[in-house]
Amino acid sequence: MLVCGIKTWAPILPVKRAVLDFSSPNIAKEMHVGHIRSTIIGDTLAHMFEFTNVEVLRRNHVGDWGTQFGMLIEFLFEQFPDWEDVGNQAVGDLQSFYKASKKRFDDDPDFKERARQAVVRLQGGEDKYRAAWKKICQINRMEFDLVYKRLNVKLEEKGESFYNPYIPPVLEELTNKGLIVESKGARVIFVEDHPLIVIKQDGGFNYASTDLAALWYRLNVEKAEWIIYVTDVGQQRHFHMLFTAAKMAGWLPEQNEKKYPKASHVGFGLVLGSDGKRFRTRCSEVVRLVDLLDEAKARSKAQLIKRFTGNGQIADWTDDELDRTSEAIGYGAVKYSDLKNNRLTDYTFSFDQMLSDKGNTAVYLQYAHARICSIIRKASKDVEKLKMTGAITLGHPYERFLGLHLIQFTEVVEQACADLQPHRLCDYLYSLSETFSKFYTNCQVVGSPEETSRLLLCEATGIIMRQCFHLLGITPVHKL
């Protein structure tokens, strides 16, 4: 691994192509703390699959279609008759625009009727309504991209509207197979005696019809062998019914048949505040993701300045270094505090806990990694040359403990991919840093007779830690 690279330790998975459907915010609403889990968990799973040489299609199934657009478009027309000339300022703050249009919709029956007609016109393809829809979507994408850029998350958008043309032929196929029947004025698929509505009483499509079309597309056009949906646990029943319907249609194999292609729902719990309730601001508003990331970076920077001022190292840091390091630590802390938990459980969001340099936190792990980098720098040896000429010997018990822990990396990644549980990687990373700390306490590195071997052990640990950071979407810090 030291000579040929970390990729030689990548496990081999039984699939070549997977679709990962994650993040998926709704258009006309800003991304808030509720979107953080799907985005972070999905990105980590994508990194892990990509590391194993699986082609990953990262899909952002944004809510860019539906009845809410009638309300938004009509409100845009009402407030800004010259909306085409006004530009992005017409919508302004997305959350405020959505709230104002929703209030108008709830309070004014005439507006509500115009909004419903706007949906019909939009779905009918009228140019004016399509142009307004595109404008609202475009403004939202710019907001989303700012968040994704901060989190360094790559996604390809294929929203609900993308699958619209596929819905009629997919439903026709399911009808021809005898799966879709009429029930109480709607068209449904009975899944385990429960109706999955695919065409509403008014003839409109819904989430189920869109999701069936998307699943068909991912299986038949994108040729995915594993399709993974990362959403909150509240949607578990919906996806169970969706996957069961797909098995009834013969799209997916039964569990006792071949294993692939398959579809999986990766559910996750809530982000809670200190009061044990859903995490919100003091004004009971959902917390904007941008504000949360800003505060994480600001707190991290304040801690670093205090630390470096106290130990006399502040002069060694440029403003740019401080900014980049505080961002890496702050954003990494937010990600790790989420990922270290079993995704099915709720967790309490606490800046104090996640930015602590004690215990199982990203900050502690960043310091552990920076310490390894410092040891190697102090040795003043050409580590790349040592990799080619030196050898690792594990004569001391703590050397063996560390060596044995390092070679578990492949198995841990494989297991985390198999059961879609990123916290396994966090457990391993924290345990590795603890094991290294014991090794360093008991085994002198620089200046010892075993210096070459132990420097290579340090380098191997650093490589594994950096790979874990990468898989978790965290930028490693080399100096602290």
pTM over 0.85: yes
pLDDT of 90 reads 58
DSSP for residue 235: G
pLDDT of 199 reads 92
First vs last C-alpha separation in the chain: 27
Of 210, 159, 479, nearest to 322 (Cα)? 479
Amino acid identity of 392? Answer: I
Dist CA 196 CA 319 (whole Å): 57
pLDDT of 84 reads 77
CB 303 within 8 Å of CB 50: no
pLDDT (tens place) for every residue of the chain, 480 residues total: 898 999 999 999 999 999 999 999 988 777 888 789 999 999 999 999 999 999 999 999 998 887 788 899 999 898 888 777 766 665 666 778 888 899 999 999 999 999 989 988 887 889 999 999 988 888 888 889 989 999 999 999 999 999 999 999 999 999 999 999 999 999 999 999 999 999 988 888 889 999 999 999 999 999 999 999 999 999 999 999 999 999 999 999 987 777 899 999 999 999 998 888 888 755 556 778 888 999 999 999 999 999 999 999 999 999 999 999 999 999 999 999 999 999 999 999 999 999 999 999 999 999 999 999 999 999 999 999 999 999 999 999 999 999 999 999 999 999 999 999 999 999 999 999 999 999 999 999 999 999 999 999 999 999 999 999 999 999 999 998
Of 149, 150, 148, nearest to 23 (Cα)? 148
Walk me through the domains of the chain, giving residue ranges and CATH numbers: 6-65+159-268 (3.40.50.620), 67-144 (no CATH), 326-472 (1.10.730.10)
Cα-Cα-Cα-Cα dihedral sign, residues 475, 60, 286, 265: negative
Give the number of other CB atoms < 10 A from CB of residue 14.
10
Dist CA 124 CA 126 (whole Å): 6
pLDDT of 143 reads 85
Q: What separation in angstroms does the CA of 33 have from each of 23, 47, 328, 369, 449?
A: 11, 22, 19, 29, 52
pLDDT of 282 reads 54
Dist CA 260 CA 412 (whole Å): 22
Q: Position of tokens 């002198």?
A: 444
Dist CA 251 CA 144 (whole Å): 33
CB 157 within 8 Å of CB 62: yes
Residue 339, token pair as written in the block? 């990922």
